[in-house]
Amino acid sequence: MKKSSVVLKLFMVTFICFSLFYFLLLLSQVLFFEKFYFENKIGQLSKNLKTFGPILSKYTEDEGKTAELTGEFMNQNNAALSLLNKDFTNQPLYSYRIELLADGENKTILLSGEGIQLNDVPSQIKQGDSLRVDGFYLDEAETIIQPVTLSAPSTVPPEQGLEMIEGTVTNYTLPKNRSFNAYFQDNLNQEILRSWINITTNKDLLNNDTIQYKWTDQWSGVPYVLLIQKIELNGDPYYLAASTTLQPVDEAVEMIQQYFLYFAAFGIILLVIISGFYSRILSKPLISLSQTARRMADLDFSIKTPSHSNDEFGALSASLQTMSDNLKATLKELETANQQLHKDMDKKQELLQLHKEFTGNVSHELKTPLGIIKGFAEGLQDGVAEHKKERYLSHILHEVDHMNEIIMDLLLLSKYEAEAVQLHIKSFSVSHLINRVLDTFTQQLAQKSLEVVITNHTHGIVQADQKRIEQVLVNLLSNAITHASPRSSIYVTLLNIADEIEVRIENKGEQIPINQMERIWEKFYRTEYSRSRKSGGTGLGLAIVSQILHLHGRSFGAENTAVGVVFFFRLKESERNTNEM
């Protein structure tokens, strides 16, 4: 399956879902919008009317507060409100009014539906504004005015028969948020009430349920609904009657349908774009993760998963990255283990080879003296050359001593290899130790006419096991004397390097082949091509040196010079020697 199939599937699913939603939205408007509009509007007005009754009953003695509350109710519900007594006689509310302060007196301007149009009241009136009212007083105290005209203050005299006052607005309640002329709608409320009273029965008023009555204006054809709720004011039954227009929505619904049809073409294009964009957003991380998984299948763990979103894709990306890192680490461990296995196998082969060589070397080293001893012993047993008896016995003892030396060196070397030797570290002068060791080689030096030249560039106080270092010096000096050219010089040099003292023993003679330099520290290894015993020794001296210096944790080595070979090793300089310097 092509990787684009995921994108196509997501695109189709998204497009179908959006299209279905679009169709259901259009269908719901056709079938349910009008019913929803009517039920919601009537239900909300009925609910508000029930809660308004108890609030109004608290302010029956305060005419101003009652007017303010009823005015706010009509504005908030876009409805006309009337108060009826038990005989269904309308009780004046005068909900819309303006309070003026004129000549130090409070005047109340009643805004009733009789003779007042919506545009007669100055727009955007507010407290502190100056206002002129032409009208007539409704009380003997001349505090309540029925206005005829309202305007800004001017010098134009009022019409005949009308009173004129000018003052500052202190408070007001005006129609607002009303879809029709509020004053006309309030007057129409009385006509709707009269129509209802003509058909009502006492049975309708037995309970406190809200009475609902639908009425249609014969002139405009606009439907209205009248809601009547029974309340109690000062213990007497009253009725709140609220009417509101049920504006026809058929034409609006038809226009919406046409609008949606015109919008359909653009909507389809928009749906295609949105669906494509949405499917790309969802499929992009999936395709990226698929590519990453394919690279991982090819054991390529270099690529990083790109998703950093905090969602399921991000979690999957993080898990895939963790798996990639774990697989990479595991493969690396396997490669390392495989390399180590190869090294171990090579080491095993090397050890097997060394074991064979060691067995051969030991056999060779012991076979020769045993053969010599056997030959001389058989000669003595057969009574051959009685006059050479002493010389034969001397040879036998010499070979026995040589075999004993080999065995003792093997035992000593095995202890060093097993780290079964306890080092006794102390401070001592390595230069003094060198002189003492050289005194034991006086005869060997004289036999080859060798000269020892000591160059000391330091006090030579070191920290080490003196007995073991003496063995190192004995073996290295013995090796240097053995392989030195006759009538040459052996150079012993002491150098101070950082916090260490380096001892260098150099002779003039045959060099060590480069390819054999690392093997000179092996047991029984000799650089001669023939395994003759002309050089003497047991073949274990340098191996013992290597083990002793390993136990001390010190560096050592050998290298060819222009005229011979130099062996060197380093020892830790004593703190006492450092302080003295």
Rounded (to 5) percent helix, strand, coil in the chain: 50, 20, 25
- How much of the chain exceeds pLDDT 90, in percent? 14
- Predicted confidence band at 530 (pLDDT cuts at 50, 70, 90)? very low
Q: What pLDDT does 449 receive?
A: 93
pLDDT, one tens digit per residue, over 131-172 is 888 888 887 878 888 788 888 888 888 888 788 888 898 888
Q: Are 99 and 107 a contacting pair, CB within 8 Å?
A: yes
pLDDT at 266: 74
| Same domain as 314, residue 287 | no
Q: Is the pLDDT of residue 192 over 80?
A: yes
Q: Which of 47-51, 190-194, 249-253 is predicted with the least confidence, judged by mean pLDDT?
A: 249-253
Compute the distance between CA of residue 383 and CA of residue 429 in angstroms, rounded to an integer. 56
Domain count, the chain: 4
Judge if 500 and 472 occupy the same domain: yes
- Could you tell me if residue 17 is inside a domain? yes
Give dist(CA 361, CA 365) in Å, integer.
6
| Same domain flag for 310 and 415 | yes
Q: Could you tell me if 547 and 512 lie in one domain?
A: yes
User: What is the pLDDT of the chain when averaged over all its residues?
Assistant: 79
Please check whether residues 555 and 445 belong to one and the same domain. Answer: yes
Q: Distance between CA 204 and CA 64 in Å, rounded?
A: 32
Q: Across residues 225-254, what is the average pLDDT? A: 80
Across the chain, how many H-helices and E-strands are there? Answer: 11, 17
Whole-number pLDDT of residue 3: 47
Binned at pLDDT 50, 70 and 90, residue 358 comes out as: low
Residues 272 and 330 in one domain: no
pLDDT digits (tens, 9 = 90+) for 556-576: 999 999 999 999 999 999 876
In 440-512, alpha helices (H)? 442-447, 466-483
Distance of CA 127 to the CA centre of its chain: 60
Cβ contacts of residue 4 below 8 Å, gap of 6+? none
User: What pLDDT is recorded for position 183?
Assistant: 57
In DSSP notation, 297-310 reads HTT----------S
Q: What are phi and psi of 454, to 5 degrees?
A: -105, 125
- Give residue 533's pLDDT: 47
- The answer to whether residues 415 and 426 belong to one domain is no
Give residue 365's pLDDT.
63
Asked if residue 553 and residue 440 are part of one domain, the reply reads: yes
Range of the domain at 475: 421-580
Q: Does residue 500 lie in a domain region?
A: yes
pTM higher than the cut 0.75? no
Q: Same domain for 553 and 442?
A: yes
Whether residues 312 and 373 fall in one domain: yes
- My answer on whether 282 and 343 are in the same domain is no
Q: 559 near 438, Cβ under 8 Å?
A: no
Rg (C-alpha) for the chain, rounded Å, is 61
| Contact call for residues 42 and 49 (beta carbons, < 8 A) | no
